[in-house]
Structure 1
């Protein structure tokens, strides 16, 4: 798979970072190295992004399990034991899947490390396997440190609450968030990425529209490049204490101002809220020193 498609190239050129992107892009490989395999086996959480082939909607979904539920089973493959829970909107797409383009990100708040594996998913008897096409790690920028977590064994997911607009409580949930995950797609695959900042960095400006600043990152512009080529997107917000999830699907576009600053505007198609969706309870966050003030 090529490192960058035309969408990413267009954003890189507008930002004037094509040469830097070419240098940084050398981190992207197809193989899962031993250090990456060891990292994956320590994680209790994996975020998966994909488009549901039936509805064409893009979602970002959380997968959880005891460490080892995600593991490398070869230099180009990872396996996941279990899957999404029934209220999750991606569950139908992952059932009996064959060659489904997916993007995944494993983020460890304890160490501020993150790793992405994009590829093709197929269902297995115990969960699913992903044939890796792109494997790479990102810097710790904008990741909030959470020192520890516990698994709440008796936490039971509530019935999903679906809607086409945000409630006032959901808008407050978003405004309080210091982290969310972004799923995007392109002609040849899918990607899942992380966005972080101090609480208030992402805002619901109406019941159907969100906006957030695109902080300086690794200059690859994989997500923004995908959105330029295909505006479909999925957002996942987590309550790191209660396990409640808020999943949004819709379309997003990037706005550039005269100073070259970027802001992403997301228009909602559907929202799915599920209380106690995941069994993890994390400690309080220590904000990343890289986080700008939300007003900037």
Structure 2
């Protein structure tokens, strides 16, 4: 069975990496290996991507003590606890729903993706895996984890549209963000990273970023070929504040490279949404230098 959907195949062919993608695609499967299960149980956070009841796509952050995410079988994981109050996906997993998940550990610069179908459980959410695979550490910034802030509560989620000046500064300073995309065969949660400034704020409703060379899978860009809906998640690693954006994205292919442009439809900012506190980053040596005007 082909691990890629037609959108990913179209981009792979266009870029000329079909053979490499075939090789890398052999690592994609529905099973959760013991090393993957052990990795999950060490993680204090998990990124979830899904569409809300109105069809808007969001990327959300779930957190908990290590073990709150764990494999419950060779093809299922359990995620304990609800999303923060006010999170746009808080009411999504009341029945079966396609979901993409990403476990990323800044301490070790390791990450794995697990995409499948979520359903509610007594513990929180159970995800039946359809695609499980690891990615290389490219463009992952290394951070150390401090003692979590267990005393403070998340602030009230503030919903809006165009970015405020403070939010623009937040986005411009980002070295990491997460992106959820959808396709007829499911949802994917991915990561984008680079030196601060790699993400551009073109207008209060438009962002753009370069698509750096990766693993040749083109899952994100492939999904966007068929369905432009996307959700971005930004995290203030020192305070736990999150900024979630939903909208549409498209990618321009030119001889100079690929650039993805994102149009914001709605935003949700939640002060202190995460209790986790992280150090300043040690940027990945793979990060390309910023181009002039970035």
> Taking structure 2 as the reference length, what is the TM-score of the superposition?
0.98
- Counterparts of 1:143 and 1:131 in 2: how far apart (Å)? 27
Equivalent in the alignment of 1:241: 238
| RMSD after superposition | 0.9
Deviations 1:6-51 (Å, cap 9, x if unpaired)? 1111111111101110111111011000000000000000000001
Q: Once structures 1 and 2 are overlaid, which stretch shifts more, 61-70 or 3-12? A: 3-12
- Counterparts of 2:242 and 2:145 in 1: how far apart (Å)? 19
Equivalent in the alignment of 1:42: 42
SS in 1 for 2:12: helix
Task: Tell me, yes or no, if the aligned pair for 1:12 and 1:220 is still in contact at 8 Å.
Answer: yes
TM-fit CA distance, 1:83: 2.2
Deviations 1:48-103 (Å, cap 9, x if unpaired)? 00011x21000000000000000000000000110211110001112x222x1000
1:289 and 2:289 matched: no
What aligned pairs does 1:107-122 form with structure 2 within 5 A after superposition?
A: 107-122=104-119
1:17 and 2:21 matched: no
- Counterparts of 1:7 and 1:13 in 2: how far apart (Å)? 10
1:191 and 2:175 matched: no
- Counterparts of 1:158 and 1:85 in 2: how far apart (Å)? 10
Task: Tell me, yes or no, if the aligned pair for 1:178 and 1:196 is still in contact at 8 Å.
Answer: yes
Moved over 3 A (4+): none
TM-fit CA distance, 1:258: 2.3
Q: Once structures 1 and 2 are overlaid, which stretch shifts more, 286-295 or 147-156? A: 147-156
- Counterparts of 1:97 and 1:245 in 2: how far apart (Å)? 26
Equivalent in the alignment of 1:97: 95
Task: Tell me, yes or no, if the aligned pair for 1:171 and 1:203 is still in contact at 8 Å.
Answer: no
Task: Tell me, yes or no, if the aligned pair for 2:112 and 2:133 is still in contact at 8 Å.
Answer: yes
Q: Which runs of 5+ in 1 are unaligned?
A: none
TM-fit CA distance, 1:148: 2.5
- Counterparts of 1:142 and 1:149 in 2: how far apart (Å)? 22
TM-fit CA distance, 1:2: 3.6
1:280 and 2:279 matched: no
Task: Tell me, yes or no, if the aligned pair for 2:59 and 2:244 is still in contact at 8 Å.
Answer: yes
Q: Which runs of 5+ in 2 are unaligned?
A: none
> Taking structure 1 as the reference length, what is the TM-score of the superposition?
0.97
What aligned pairs does 1:84-163 form with structure 2 within 5 A after superposition?
A: 84-94=83-93, 96-98=94-96, 100-163=97-160
TM-fit CA distance, 1:200: 0.5
